[in-house]
Amino acid sequence: MTFKFSLNERFIENVVADNIIIYKDDKQDARETIEHLRNFYDNDDIVGILEIPSSNYEAVITQSDDNSYYLNKNLFKTYDVNGTPFLDYRVNDDSKKLLIYGHNSRYTDMPFKILENYYDEDFYNENKIIKYTTEKETKTFKVFAVYTETSDWGYMKTDFANDLDFKSHIKKLASNSIYDDEAIDSDQILILQTCSTKKEYLKYKKKFLLIIAGRVN
């Protein structure tokens, strides 16, 4: 059971869906939106809302003091095999890189199942804009790279010696992409990670689909 929010009319109704969808009044500021969710779920771990506007996809994002807790917890902090998308515990709103993780499955709907659509070039071209709302602001990112990683976990790096180190890191990520777009020159990037279910990766123990976007606003 998930929930449909209408902050404008101040009501909540149950909907039959596996992903959490939030409908926000555009007049609500970011802080009030996040606070509304925290109060409803009685969960101060809620830190943001992830949106892929062209696909009408929205999901609540959490953050705990490790990268394990929300692998099998829902927003009410009760056991749920679907888990809840979460921000890496090592970063914050101002970090140069935001890493958000969520589950996927070949057999059932999961919070980040939609990300596998980025393997399709048409979907990729039509869904490059991703928005991330925190209690401070709404940030707009543009996807520039998509690929599946099976052995090099360097993309999880969060500390950079200087701007040159960061820019070099972005270019390396872009060079791995299945598409030909150039890296976006940005002071912040967003990486969405989920498990890949594509057949060619089934032989690998770890196979993570990465959607990489640079902040444009």
Q: Using one digit for the tens of pLDDT, what is the confidence trace for 120-173?
A: 999 999 999 999 999 999 999 999 999 999 999 999 999 999 999 999 999 999
Count of residues for the chain?
A: 217
Q: Is the pLDDT of residue 2 over 80?
A: no
In the chain, % of residues over pLDDT 70: 87
Angle, CA of 214, 172 and 169, to the nearest 5°: 65
Structural domains of the chain sorted by starting position, each given as residue range(s) with its CATH number in brackets: 2-215 (2.40.260.10)
Q: What is the pLDDT of residues 26-77, one digit of tens each?
A: 446 788 999 999 999 999 999 999 999 999 999 999 999 999 999 999 999 9
At residue 92, what is the residue type?
Answer: N
Return all residues near 112 (Cβ < 8 A) that are at least 6 apart.
Answer: 85, 101, 102, 103, 104, 192, 194
Rg of the chain taking only CA atoms, in angstroms = 17
